Chains A and B, each alone.
With several copies, the nearest count.
Chain A
Amino acid sequence: MQINLRHKGSITILDIEGKIIGADALALKAVIDEQVQLANSQTENDGRLNLILNMERIQMMDSSGLGALVASYTSIRRIQGRVVLLNLGGSVRNLIVMAKLMTIFDCYNSEAEAIAGIMKS
Chain B
Amino acid sequence: MGERTEQVITLSLPSSMQHVYLLDVVVSEILKEMDLGEDVQEQINLAVIEAGTNAIKHGNKEDLSKKATFQFVLADDKFTIVITDEGEGFTRQEVADPLDPENLLKSSGRGLFLMEACMDSVTYEANGTIVKMVKYKETPAP
Whether chain A touches chain B in the assembled complex (some CB pair under 8 Å): yes
Chain B residues with CB below 8 A from A95, complex form: 46, 114
Measured in the bound complex, the distance between the Cα atoms of B113 and A101 in whole Å is 14
Measured in the bound complex, the distance between the Cα atoms of B103 and A101 in whole Å is 11
Measured in the bound complex, the distance between the Cα atoms of B41 and A60 in whole Å is 11
Chain A residues with CB below 8 A from B34, complex form: none
Chain A residues with CB below 8 A from B99, complex form: 99-100
A/B pair count, beta carbons within 8 Å: 65
Chain A residues with CB below 8 A from B20, complex form: 21-23
Query: Whole-angstrom distance from the CB of B59 to the nearest CB of chain A?
Result: 15
With known contacts A23-B20, A62-B53, A67–B107 Cβ distance under 8 A: yes
Query: Whole-angstrom distance from the CB of B41 to the nearest CB of chain A?
Result: 10
Q: Residue-by-residue, is A87-102 near B (CB-CB < 8 Å gives 1, otherwise 0)?
A: 0000100010011110
Closest B-chain residue to A29, C-beta based? B107
Measured in the bound complex, the distance between the Cα atoms of B17 and A22 in whole Å is 6
**Which listed residue (B53, B104, B106) contacts A64, Cβ 8 A?**
B53
Q: Report how many residues on chain A are interfacial, defined by Cβ distance under 8 Å.
A: 22
Assess the B110–A63 pair: CB atoms within 8 A. Answer: yes
Chain A interface, >50% SS class: helix
Q: Report how many residues on chain B are interfacial, defined by Cβ distance under 8 Å.
A: 23
Chain A residues with CB below 8 A from B117, complex form: 98
Q: Does B24 contact A (CB under 8 A)?
A: yes
Query: Whole-angstrom distance from the CB of A22 to the nearest CB of chain B?
Result: 3
Measured in the bound complex, the distance between the Cα atoms of B98 and A73 in whole Å is 17
With known contacts A99-B99, A100-B99, A22–B107 Cβ distance under 8 A: no
B-facing residues in A63-83 (Cβ within 8 Å): 63-64, 66-68, 70-71, 73-74
Chain B residues with CB below 8 A from A63, complex form: 50, 108, 110-111, 113-114
Q: Does A57 contact B (CB under 8 A)?
A: no
Assess the A91–B107 pair: CB atoms within 8 A. Answer: no
Query: Whole-angstrom distance from the CB of B115 to the nearest CB of chain A?
Result: 9
Query: Whole-angstrom distance from the CB of A11 to the nearest CB of chain B?
Result: 24
With known contacts A63-B114, A98-B114, A21–B49 Cβ distance under 8 A: yes
Chain B residues with CB below 8 A from A71, complex form: 107
Assess the A64–B46 pair: CB atoms within 8 A. Answer: no
Assess the A22–B108 pair: CB atoms within 8 A. Answer: no
Highest count of chain B CB atoms <10 Å: which of A62, A67, A91, A104: A62
Assess the B105–A60 pair: CB atoms within 8 A. Answer: no
Known: A22-B49, A62-B49. 15 other contacts (CB 8 A): A21-B49, A22-B20, A62-B53, A62-B114, A63-B50, A63-B111, A67-B110, A70-B106, A71-B107, A91-B42, A95-B46, A98-B114, A98-B117, A101-B104, A104-B104
